């Protein structure tokens, strides 16, 4: 288990982390979410000693992380962390060697990951000659080259096409299923909701929501309602006491309502009016929870 324990970090007048605490479990994926500047990258860098917290601690398997403990960790920074003029295969072998992988094993692992990501035919090409998306694939291969026990990935899906997103998603599922702890940040909340069992939402350096995705949705104090009505929707929307209107697209409307709203009374009134074409009532999406947490 990876645990962040009351981390504080200040850069001059900027408070980056303000008591950040959460855990990531082996065999599960955790989505680390937050607005830009919330502290995600600072917290991730602290795992690898690239940022030293002013106070608090990070532990792996219940113990403080020493330099040698980071050998079985895999890190994918948001900013490109590759040598641009180095050949792709040689780059991966070199990074594998830094993690203690023997040369032959590192070479075979590099080819295996390049093949998995559809880049085996580019093994001898310089990294800088690859597209942004292909460099992103190589960056993930670099994090996986030594078969790590922990993966920490900062915006790994940024700039990827749908096929690459699907491939990377499959790889992360397999890594978690093999007992690895996987933590990644992303602004693609629908993707996080599909992939992750757990989330931690950070805002202004503090964790404002943490837990299992399903548990958080089920226990949320809000619900998500979609309506399609004929004509003016305002009279019907006014019946949803305490509701906040979200998106509107023609006759379709999305409303966030308190979980204890009497929907039976609303439906009876709506049916009497005879203008309700479509209705859904569900637990909130992860996007809804995110907006509520950082509002």
Q: What SS3 class is residue 210?
A: strand
Q: What is the pLDDT of residue 235?
A: 63
What class has domain 220-294?
Answer: alpha beta
Closest residue by Cα to residue 186 from 208, 159, 209: 159
pLDDT at 254 over 90: no
The string of pLDDT tens digits covering residues 159-217 is 888 988 999 999 999 999 999 999 999 999 999 999 999 999 999 999 999 999 999 99
pLDDT classification of 275: cutoffs 50, 70, 90: low
Angle of helix 132-144 versus helix 88-98 axis, rounded to 10: 30
Q: How far apart are CA 97 and CA 252, in angstroms?
A: 56
- How many Å apart are CA 114 and CA 137, to the nearest integer? 8
Report pLDDT digits (tens) over 132-154: 889 999 999 999 999 999 999 99
Provide the residue ranges of all domains of the chain, joining segments of one domain with +.
Answer: 2-215, 220-294
Say whether pTM exceeds 0.85.
Answer: yes
Q: Which residues of 66-79 are buried (b: 16+ CB within 10 A; e: fewer)?
A: eeeebeebbbbbbe
Q: What does the pLDDT read at residue 246?
A: 64
Q: Which residue has the tokens 């104090």?
A: 221
| Domain 2-215, CATH number (from 3.60.40.10, 3.30.460.80, 3.40.50.300, 3.20.20.70) | 3.40.50.300
**What sign for the dihedral angle of Cα 167, 171, 177, 180?**
negative
**Mean pLDDT, the chain, integer:** 90
**Helix, strand, coil in percent for the chain, rounding step 5:** 35, 30, 30
């Amino acid at each position: 288990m990876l645990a962040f324990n009351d981390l504080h970090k200040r850069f001059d007048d900027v408070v980056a982390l303000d008591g950040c605490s959460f855990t990531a479990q082996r065999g599960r994926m955790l989505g680390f979410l937050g607005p830009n500047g919330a502290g995600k990258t600072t917290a991730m860098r602290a795992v690898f000693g690239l940022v030293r917290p002013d106070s608090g601690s990070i532990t792996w398997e219940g113990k403080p992380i020493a330099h040698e403990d980071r050998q079985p960790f895999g890190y994918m920074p948001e900013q490109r962390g590759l040598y641009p003029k180095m050949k792709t295969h040689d780059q991966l072998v070199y990074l594998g060697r830094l993690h203690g992988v023997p040369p032959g094993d590192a070479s075979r692992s590099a080819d295996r990951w390049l093949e998995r990501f559809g880049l085996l035919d580019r093994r001898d090409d310089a990294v800088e000659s690859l597209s942004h998306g292909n460099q992103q694939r190589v960056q993930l291969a670099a994090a996986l080259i030594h078969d790590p026990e922990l993966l920490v990935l900062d915006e790994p899906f940024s700039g990827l096409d749908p096929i690459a997103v699907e491939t990377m998603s499959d790889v992360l599922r397999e890594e978690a299923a093999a007992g690895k702890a996987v933590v990644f940040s992303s602004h693609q909340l629908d993707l996080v909701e599909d992939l992750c069992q757990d989330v931690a939402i950070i805002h202004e350096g503090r964790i404002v929501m943490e837990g299992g995705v399903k548990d958080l949705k089920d226990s949320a104090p809000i619900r998500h309602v979609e309506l399609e009505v004929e004509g003016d929707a305002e009279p019907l929307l006014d019946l949803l006491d305490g509701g906040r209107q979200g998106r509107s697209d023609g006759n379709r409307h999305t409303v966030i309502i308190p979980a204890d709203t009497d929907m039976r009374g609303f439906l009876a009134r709506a049916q009497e009016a005879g203008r309700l074409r479509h209705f859904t009532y569900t637990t909130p999406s992860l996007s809804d929870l995110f907006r509520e947490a950082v509002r």
